[in-house]
């Protein structure tokens, strides 16, 4: 009888323990990816680099084809700098080196620095306006004061690094895909 009482007590204890463990508490809901990306975009960013978005080659008179590789820096690569100085007299991207981007929680943005380069090359939609994420948070859409939409694909994003695909119109070449690299 004593043996049955111990077995019964043990089964009662294990059953109670199982019941308590199986009761789930309300877990805090995790933010969805769209909300997380918006939170990551919000804040102050410093321009780290502008890179060539695709590999190509440029035919330089008297030299021939000069290969350009994806990821080459529009700011610091000596080959690109030589080509831009030869074609335009200066590297216009160098003027953007110290740009600072501020994406506010209220959906407004402001760029401190150069955004309108020589010959109308625009690196970013105006210097201020509003921003939002679109297309399942894959696009950072900027809207200038006239509400003109300037979409930038988000190549990658973390809490401290933002890699945007931008399209820059270069005279004589047309729209050239590039990467705008920002860091917090």
On the question of pLDDT at 7 being above 60, the answer is no
pLDDT in tens, 24-34: 566 666 667 77
What CATH number is associated with residue 85? 2.40.128
- Residue 113 belongs to a domain: yes
Q: What is the pLDDT of residue 183?
A: 97
CA end-to-end distance (rounded Å), the chain: 72
Residue span of the structural domain in which 156 resides: 33-183
Q: What is the pLDDT of residue 171?
A: 66
pTM above 0.85, yes or no: no
Q: What is the pLDDT of residue 146?
A: 86
- Residue 2 belongs to a domain: no
Q: How many domains does the structure of the chain reveal?
A: 1
Strand ranges, E, within the chain: 43-52, 56-60, 64-68, 100-103, 108-112, 128-134, 139-143, 149-157, 161-170, 174-183
Could you tell me which residues come within 8 angstroms of residue 116 by beta carbon, excluding any fewer than 6 positions away? 122, 126, 127
- Residue 42 belongs to a domain: yes
Q: What is the pLDDT of residue 1?
A: 56
Could you tell me which residues come within 8 angstroms of residue 160 by beta carbon, excluding any fewer than 6 positions away? 183, 184
pLDDT in tens, 120-169: 565 566 789 999 999 888 999 999 888 888 899 999 999 899 999 998 87
- Residue 43 belongs to a domain: yes
- CB-based contact 179:151 (threshold 8 Å): no
pLDDT in tens, 59-83: 888 888 989 999 999 999 999 998 8
- Residue 177 belongs to a domain: yes
173 or 12: which carries more pLDDT confidence?
173
On the question of pLDDT at 10 being above 70, the answer is no
- Residue 24 belongs to a domain: no
Q: What is the pLDDT of residue 34?
A: 78
C-alpha span between 48 and 99 (Å, rounded): 9
- Residue 9 belongs to a domain: no
pLDDT in tens, 81-111: 988 888 778 888 888 899 999 999 999 999 9
- Residue 22 belongs to a domain: no
């Amino acid at each position: 009888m004593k043996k049955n009482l111990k077995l019964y007590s043990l089964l009662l204890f294990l059953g109670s323990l199982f019941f308590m463990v199986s009761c789930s508490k309300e877990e805090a809901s995790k933010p969805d990816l769209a909300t997380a990306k918006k939170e990551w975009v919000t804040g102050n960013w410093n321009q780290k680099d502008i890179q060539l978005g695709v590999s190509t080659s440029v035919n330089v008179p008297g030299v021939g084809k000069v290969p350009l590789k994806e990821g080459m820096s529009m700011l610091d690569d000596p080959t690109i700098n030589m080509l831009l100085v030869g074609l335009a007299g200066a590297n216009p991207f160098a003027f953007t080196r110290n740009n600072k981007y501020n994406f506010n929680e209220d959906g407004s943005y402001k760029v401190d620095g150069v955004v309108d380069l020589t010959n109308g090359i625009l690196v970013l939609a105006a210097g201020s306006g509003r921003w939002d994420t679109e297309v399942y948070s894959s696009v950072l859409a900027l809207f200038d004061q006239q509400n003109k939409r300037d979409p930038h694909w988000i190549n990658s994003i973390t809490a401290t690094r933002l890699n945007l695909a931008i399209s820059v119109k270069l005279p004589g070449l047309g729209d050239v895909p590039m990467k705008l690299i920002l860091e917090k």
